[in-house]
Structures are given as C-alpha cells and as structure tokens.
Amino acid sequence: MHSRQSLLKSVASAGGKSDIPVISMNPRSGRRFSRPLAAAGALLLPLVWSVFGVSGAGAADGAKNQAGANSSKGEVLSSEAKSKLAASPFYGQVRKNFGQWDLDQSGDLSLPEIELAVHNPGVKGESAAAAASLRRAVRGDKSLPPLSLEKIAGGVVTPSTKDMPQPKYESMYETGLKKIRETNRDLFADGPPRLESISQGRLGDCFLIVSMGTCAYCDPQRLMNMMRMQPSGKVLVTLGSGRQFELEAPTDGEVIIGATSKNTGCWTNAYEKAVGTVMLERAQEKKTTHVTPLSLIGVGGTPNVPLEILTGHKVRRHGCEDYRQEKDANGASAEDLQPLRDDLKAAFAEKRLIVGGCGPKGKQALVKGIYYNHSYGVLEYDEATDTVLFWNPFGHKFTPKGPDGLEHGYTTTNGKFRVPLKEAVMWYGSFSIETAEPSGK
C-alpha cells in the first residue's frame, strides 16, 4: 500500500491545472476546542461502535480503554448515543462518505484528506456541508486530527461543557447548508463587484481578501477582466502578468468556508481560489504539506503577495515605524509625514492599489476597534483633510464610545473607517504599494 504522504500527493496532483488544479488563524474562524475524549470518550466511544457496528483497530483500542467501565451506565448511554447519532444529519453524511474521503483507507481522516474533500467538485450539498464542518473543527483545534469515525461520533454525542467544549458540528453543518443555498453561482451576478458585499469567511486569508476588496473599490473592472466564466463552467483567469489558466468553479465546500459576497455572485470565492492556486504552485516548488489552494491561504500570509499576483507588478513597502518616535500631546505622530503623503498621493493619482496591515500587539498604539495581526485595504487618501480611508475585510460595524481618535477608535461601517494620517501611523504597520514595475513572475 502507498504511504499516506505519497497517496495524497498523487490525488492532489490528479487534475493538474484543469479538473483539480494544483495549482492564514482567522480571528473569527471559530473557537479552539480542548479534547474531552480522553476522559468521556473512553466511556462513550465503544457504545457508539456497538450502536452502528463499527469495528477494526480503532474499536479494539477503544475497547481496551473501556475496561472497567460501569456496564449498567453504559447501557443507558448507548441508548442515548444511538438516538443522538440517528437524529444527526451531519453524522449521517460523514458515515455515508467516510470511506470515499479516507483516501488511503487508514480508518481515519487526516487534515489533508479533509481539505481534499472540501476541494472536490464531486462533494456537493449535504456532503459538502459535512466536510466543511470537519474542516472547521480540525482547523479550530490542531490536536483533533486524525479523525476516525468513532472519534467524530464521540464529538456528536458527548455533551459540551465549559471545561470540555466539543466542536459544534451540527450548527456548522446547518450554517454551511444555508450558505450553499444562498450563494449565487454566477460569477458576477449583480454587475461590477462592490466592496460593500464582501465579508471575510472562515479562512485566515485577510491578507488575500484586502487586495480583492481594494480592487473592487478602486478599479472593479480589473477584477472582471481577471475572471471570466466559460461555457464549460470553468473560470478563465487572466493575471496582471498576462498569464492565463482555467480553474474549476468554486466547489460547495469552498463556498462554505470562503468569503461571502452577499448574493452578488461567486467572484469572491473564485478570487480566493485563483490567487491560492498560484501561491500553491510557488509553495510546491519549495515543498509544502498543503494540498489545495484554500488549505494554503487559510493559514495566513502577507498582503503584498496577492497584490503582486493580481496586478503583475512589484509591490513596495512603506513602513510606519519611523513615524512613531516623536508624538504630540494626543499621542499622534509629530514626525515629518511628507514622504508618506507623497507616496500615497502618487499611487492614487496613478490608480495603483495599496494594501497593508498591522502586526501582533506590541509597541504600536492599541486602539479600540482595531484588529491586530490583521490586514487592511487602503481605499483613499484625502489631501485636504490629511486622512486615510481604511477597510477591514470583516466588513463589520463599530461605534466608538467617545470622539473618533486613538483613545476611542474610529466609526466603522461595512468595514470602512477614516483616520488622520498622523494617527494611522501610530498603529498601522506598513503600506504595501503597487509599483509600475513588472514583477517578472
């Protein structure tokens, strides 16, 4: 039998750049789960096996751990487990598809196998919702995989407590189904893309979303030229460099975990997949454990890379660190900001895109309503007011409990908020500015 690593590599490469092209943690991607199965699972899992007739090495190991359990208590729990599992549409889909998703037939699902199930265009509807729920669970708790059928069942039947929370499989499953039903699969169903329709999904890909959102705000036609639906149902991608390739339309699983577009089409998901495809190609040249575009972009990155892929131009960094040395009485920068002003004015005058972000909480100013270790789009620079219009890809609303500023934060609508430049440099890390120079990639 092939090793798991070689088998998954061959599966991931099967479609080349046609059917399955081979070609980061989201603060809102879900809670982290501690594993109660070491305690509760030793009692519950053998009961689950007996209910559904699951057997094999996993059952044998579990039975060994079961030694000494109270048999009368076990009979009651077995009945409860049976009822709960029989009533779970999520578990029904997992049990139905487990053998197909377990590519190496090892008896458990690894993280790459779950990622490939989400990426598989043949996994649709309820099955896709189940696969996406598993992905959310294992991405929320890196100690969880590999997942045997028994372990998944244990997560369904084991009561969740404050000290030992369980993955919310059922609610994640229902949320996924709802998103599948509500997403319009036309690429641009409502005309040119709009920034206000974007909201980051269950991936840690703020670094990627900001280039898409900034482009939608500043130059929406650029996105429409980049992605065109073909009669075959595939998406023709044309990068800023001139490179073209066809891409499978986003799968149901990718729609579930990806960014939302408020029913304006699947362009947000297609963009994630297209840029992720190029990034995965590059990563594979250096060896990577990631097997799909979304598995790679879902773990985060730097915003300059997607911007370079989109535009085909080199990206230059203008850092804010040096502008924090001298401060005024309100904590804003008292440094000479003219070099930054000139950079911003020139970029917007030449219709070049700007993104950026701020690192983990450290020496920069801590401002209410600002997410750290996070990427932002830069939509406008107003020379008259010396302010910058930023965009948070969460697309959220925030109302300060006081005047806008470093102390209380900034009024935010659909993720957009305006900040005086002398205050922005106190918390913002750097501006990544598109240049006119070809990237050569």
- Quickly count: other Cβ atoms within 10 Å of residue 265's Cβ: 22
Higher pLDDT, 51 or 194: 194
Please, what CATH class does the domain formed by 312-438 belong to?
A: alpha beta
Residue 378 pLDDT class (50, 70, 90 cuts): very high
Tokens representing residue 38 in the block: 């070491």
The reported pTM is 0.83
Q: Where are the domains of the chain?
A: 31-182, 195-305, 312-438
Higher pLDDT, 10 or 162: 162
Residue 90 pLDDT: 98
Residue 10 pLDDT class (50, 70, 90 cuts): low
- Length reported for the chain: 441
Burial degree of 349 (CB within 10 A; 0-12, 13-18, 19+): exposed
Residues linked to residue 199 through DSSP beta bridges, in sequence order: 260
Contact between residue 212 and residue 188 where contact means Cβ atoms under 8 Å apart = no
Give percent above pLDDT 90 in the chain. Answer: 77
Task: Quick: pLDDT tens for 217-266.
Answer: 999 999 999 999 999 999 999 999 999 999 999 999 999 999 999 889 99
- 30 pLDDT more than 50: no
DSSP 86-102: HT-HHHHHHHHHHHHH-
d(CA 432, CA 342): 14
Mean pLDDT across the chain, nearest whole number?
86
Task: Quick: pLDDT tens for 32-48.
Answer: 333 333 333 333 333 33
DSSP 175-216: HHHHHHHH---STTBTBS--GGG-B--SSS-HHHHHHHHHHH
d(CA 97, CA 92): 9
- Quickly count: other Cβ atoms within 10 Å of residue 116's Cβ: 24
Task: Quick: pLDDT tens for 69-96.
Answer: 323 333 334 788 889 999 999 999 999 9
What are 330-334's contacts with CB under 8 Å, separation 24+?
A: 330/405, 330/406, 331/365, 331/406, 331/407, 331/423, 331/426, 332/406, 332/420, 332/422, 332/423, 332/426, 333/422, 333/423, 333/425, 333/426, 334/422
d(CA 314, CA 63): 59
The amino acid occupying position 79 is S
Contact between residue 157 and residue 81 where contact means Cβ atoms under 8 Å apart = yes
Residue 5 pLDDT class (50, 70, 90 cuts): low
